[in-house]
Structures are given as structure tokens and as C-alpha cells.
Amino acid sequence: MRKWFQFPIREGDTSHQAHCDMPAGTFEREIGKEGFFGPATHMYHEHAPTGWSAWEGPLRPRAFDTNKLTPPGQSPWDAAPLLHNANVRVRLWKSEQSMNHLVRNGDGDECLFVHRGRGWLYCDYGRLAFGDGDYLILPRSTTWRLELEEPVTLLMIEASNGSYLNAERGLVGAHAIFDPAVLEYPRIDDAFRAQSARPGEWQVLLKAREQMNRISFPFNPLDARGWKGDLTVFRLNWRDIRPLMSHRYHLPPSAHTTFVANGFVICTFVPRPIESDPGALKVPFYHNNDDYDEVIFYHKGNFFSRDNIDAGMITLHPCGFTHGPHPKAFAAGAKHARTETDEVAVMIDARLPLEVAELPEGVENPDYVNSWQVKGG
């Protein structure tokens, strides 16, 4: 058995409650373990913890504009990983036409977040509609293809070393954040039966052990007449997520966990009221999440803690340094200039360091690291 060394200590000027009523003229910084689930200490600084004047070295906050990526090809496997480690691979795939082949991921479960577009997912389990803001969860080795009604942009998050599971809701119960009843699964309907009956050869591109296999069939392998069980593809839209909130306390990102996998979690930030208590922080607190790399994909809206971030961008904050709101956002929060958020974003917290792919010129914003600089601070 193992247990953290934990005992409450207070030294110098502190607040009585984390993220609320800080000593005058101080900036709070949380130092935490295990992605907000382990022991933590709150520091109260005279200067903004992100007020650096210069940065040298590779461990810097980074921002990537995926809108500037060239569409990779007609298959999801044409999209190379942007970020990856042993547990997770993150791709971005754009397509303007329906797939004329099937794909199967033998390396892990797949989470597809629909950034843009709509259409139909055909898979082993049947047919399922999808559209803007949907998560599609596909168990490992599911065979699938997309028929498009509009061009799509997909954020693809592969759980390479495990499966996607539901987060433990604890005291708030199993129906908090989203009720499992909102989940939709594929159906074997007339359209599914019709497509499976069409004659001709079909090819399945199987990705396994990061190698490609092309398997040809003289029939459509999506020919199920029925199935039963509790393993299936399913859909969840961010609009069905009802976030946990506290008007007196800014909740950590872990409160917004949507999916849990080995070595990483996926959280969803959706519109919500901003804290109304006069003494409560109105923006994310400065923090050291020193066990996890933090990735955020910006889907839509005005992300209230960031400057110069547009829909379709990705930020990476490697573990090991303090990060938090940009100066303008912090100042706006102190004035309670807004009463609610309107952003929608997908966050990935990864336990192992993430490797970044070599990207085309212009995709990364090298000045992102300077956006936290506070003059005179």
C-alpha cells in the first residue's frame, strides 16, 4: 500500500479557501499532483507567475493553427499524428468526399470529434448520423466509413493503450454532466441493409502496429443482420453535456472530464455561467500540472482565458511550468466583465510527454510563448 505524505500547513499570507479571496495584491498558483486529483499547495505571489520576459529552450507553450494544414487525402489514415506518445495519438483529418473504402484501427479505440461537417457513419453495428460537435467513440478494430452530406474536419484521438471509459461521477451521481440516456448508437436500418447488399469489391485499410494492411473482400463486410451486447459505437454531442458549476468556486478542469483512457483523459469545456461570488476567481487559476501535458483543441466561441485563439487551433502546454490565463483575460475576470462563457473546447491531459510532429511552415505560431508576458511584472 502507498499513501501520499499529507498534512495541512499554512505559511505567511494565504487565503482560507483555494481560488477565492486571495490576499490583496497577490496571484494564486496551484502546484498539484496527478492532474488535480493528488495533493496540492497554493502559492500566493507578488507577481503573475507567467510574467516571464523571455523564454529559451524547447519546453515552451505552443500553438498550432490546423486551419493551415493541407487536407491529407481521402482516407483517415492519410492524416499523420500531430501529437503522440505511447498512450495517445492525435490526428486532424479533413475530407470533402465520402469514403470509397473501409478502415479499421487495430492499434486502439478511436474518438472522433466532429469539428465541422455532417453525414452518416456506417460501421459494423449499423448506421449513425453525425454532425458538428459530436463525439463518436469507436472500439478497437471497428470497421467503418463515412458518407458525407457536408465536408468534414475531424479531430481524431486514438487510445493506443486502452479503451475509452466513463468517468467516476462520485457524489454527483451517474446522471451528472451527461445522462447515459443521451448516448446514441448505430441502427441496422433500411439504408444500412441497402448499402450492404450492393455488389462489388470492398477494401479495408487496417492500421495495426502502425503498419498498413489492405484487405480485399468480394462483398461489403458491413453486412450484419443483427447484434446484441454492451460493446458498440456511440455518439455524444457537446450540447448534451451539462457542466458542473459552482458560483462561489472555480472548478478545476478535471470536473469537466468526459472520457477516461489509460494514460490520458478527455475533458470538454462548454458554455456556462461565470462565478458570481465577489471573491471567487472568474478565470482558470495559474497552475503547475506537473504530471501531465495539456492539449486544448478550440472548437468554437471566444475562449475566455486566451488571446488570439481561433476555432480550429490547438495549444500544447507541456508539464513542468506554470500556465494559466493571459493577462487581458485575468484583468477582465477581476472586473467581472463577463457573466458567462461561450467557448467549446476539447482538452486532452496526457500522463506521458507528447511528441510533436514536424509541421508545415506557418502552422505553428512561434510568438505564442510571449502572449503571457506582463510588462513591468
CATH superfamily for 56-63+240-368 is Jelly Rolls (2.60.120.10)
Top-confidence residue, 170 or 267:
267
> Residue 325: pLDDT above 90?
no
Backbone angles phi, psi at 86, to 5 degrees: -70, -20
Instruction: Report residue 305's pLDDT band, with 50, 70 and 90 as the boundaries.
Output: low
| Domain boundaries of the chain, sorted by first residue | 56-63+240-368, 81-238
Instruction: Point out the least confidently predicted range of 20-24, 30-34, 51-55, 339-343.
Output: 30-34
In the chain, % of residues over pLDDT 90: 64
Q: Is 101 annotated as a binding residue?
A: no
Q: What is the pLDDT of residue 143?
A: 98
Residues 183-224: tens digit of each pLDDT = 999 999 999 999 999 889 999 999 999 899 999 999 999 999
Mean pLDDT along residues 36-64? 88
Indicate the residue type of 152. V
Cβ partners under 8 Å of residue 5, min gap 6: 39
Instruction: Indicate which residue of 84, 250, 256, 299 is catalytic.
Output: 250
Strand partners, 280: 20
Strand partners, 64: 314, 364
Residues 232-278: tens digit of each pLDDT = 999 999 999 999 998 998 888 888 999 999 999 999 999 999 889 88
Strand partners, 264: 261, 350
Q: What is the pLDDT of residue 375?
A: 53
Residues 216-230: tens digit of each pLDDT = 999 999 999 999 999
In the chain, % of residues over pLDDT 70: 96
DSSP 91: E
Top-confidence residue, 210 or 312:
312
Pairing mode of beta strands 211-217, 293-300: unpaired
Q: What is the mean pLDDT of the chain?
A: 91
Judge whether 247 and 212 are in contact, CB under 8 Å.
no
Whether the domain at 56-63+240-368 and the domain at 81-238 fall into the same CATH topology = yes
Q: Is 293 annotated as a binding residue?
A: yes
Q: What is the pLDDT of residue 376?
A: 45
Top-confidence residue, 17 or 150:
150
Judge whether 243 and 325 are in contact, CB under 8 Å.
no
Residues 12-21: tens digit of each pLDDT = 999 988 888 8
Active site residue 256: no
> Residue 377: pLDDT above 50?
no
* Dist CA 299 CA 113 (whole Å): 9
According to CATH, the topology of domain 81-238 is Jelly Rolls (2.60.120)
Q: Take residue 220 and report the three cell numbers written for it.
A: 461489403
